[in-house]
Amino acid sequence: MHHLAILREPLPEMTPPTIRAARDQLGLSQNELAQLLGTTGYTISRWETGSQPVRLPRMLYWALRGLGWQPTAQ
């Protein structure tokens, strides 16, 4: 598949449960994930509780995929 076609694939919504499930699947703590993403554990916590929306959900999706996350069919 051409790389541009991959970028156009529909992405799962980066909801709080999706973010938590991704982190759990990767076996990371909030602080560990935060360090890998260049943010804080507090931000990860807020994403997972829904108190702060993810400003760049597509970037988060691809970063998690790059870390080895395999999204489940929804």
Q: Which tens digits make up the pLDDT trace of 27-66?
A: 999 999 999 999 999 999 999 999 999 999 999 999 999 9
- pLDDT at residue 2 greater than cutoff 80: no
Rounded distance between C-alpha atoms, residue 1 and residue 60, angstroms: 22
- Out of 3.30.1360, 2.60.120, 1.10.260, 3.40.47, the CATH code matching 16-66 is 1.10.260
Burial of 41 (0-12, 13-18, 19+ CB in 10 A): middle
Instruction: Give me 19's structure tokens.
Output: 């973010």
